[in-house]
Amino acid sequence: MKNIIIASTSTIHGSGYLEYILDDLKVLFKNANTIVFIPYARPSGISHDDYTEKAKMAFSKIDIAIKGIHKFENPIEAINNAEGIFVGGGNTFVLTYQLYKNNLINSLKEAVSIGTPYLGTSAGSNICGLTIKTTNDMPIVYPPNFNALGLVPFNINPHYLDPDPSRKHMGETRETRIKEFHAYNTPPVVGLREGSWLHVSGKSITLKGKLSARIFEYNKVPYELATGTSLNQLK
């Protein structure tokens, strides 16, 4: 049975790394002593070691150990034997490229499908969708394709931002970019605002956090979904 938290971000304003969601992580990883951390997305170009240390500090607050996947001789075995998995944020293209390079896509799908608890933040959440086509990131490397893990039957846009009429920025809004996506693609897109997350338990998908999510369906007017609401209707 799937047991997943898909979080828009690792950090909200005024809070430390993962601090706003630690209570939920205690529950998600209640049976795990050590979690395999995948630091491939490398936010700001941080090294795998430095990124892993950041994750270690956060999880030490709930008495869970972290080991970076780059420290294992066989990363596939690491996923197959993992008590829990955390995929951190950063650049989604870099993350996807490394997952394909290390042949981890199928291993991750299988591990999560049999109940290995999974946490994704930002880029680690992007890859939970059908494809990475709705990421906000620059394509600084090119993965073999844009197909992701498909742990949920829609795409995700983490860090979703609403238009701000008080600003002078004249570039595309997130909503505009998602409309462009739907000119060529039909899957729904969930715009996850900062501090919001999806909890997947078995076949149930529920929006959590204090804010609503913006839902985009092909050939439909975008709409808001209140926190605590099921997303099972999206497909």
Catalytic positions, please?
Answer: 122, 137, 159
CB burial of 106-145 (b: ≥16 within 10 Å; e: otherwise) equals: ebbeebbeeebbbbbbbbbbbbbbbbbbbbbbeeeeebee
Residue 151 structure tokens: 């742990």
Residue 28 structure tokens: 């998600």
Contact 197, 6 (CB under 8 A): yes
- DSSP-derived 3-state class of residue 72: coil
Nearest CA-CA partner of 112 in 124, 95, 122: 124
DSSP string of 77-130, one letter each residue? HHHHT-S-EEE--S-HHHHHHHHHHTT-HHHHHHHHHTT--EEEETHHHHTTSS
* Cα-trace Rg, the chain: 17
Residue 137 structure tokens: 């990131």
Nearest CA-CA partner of 6 in 195, 194, 136, 199: 199
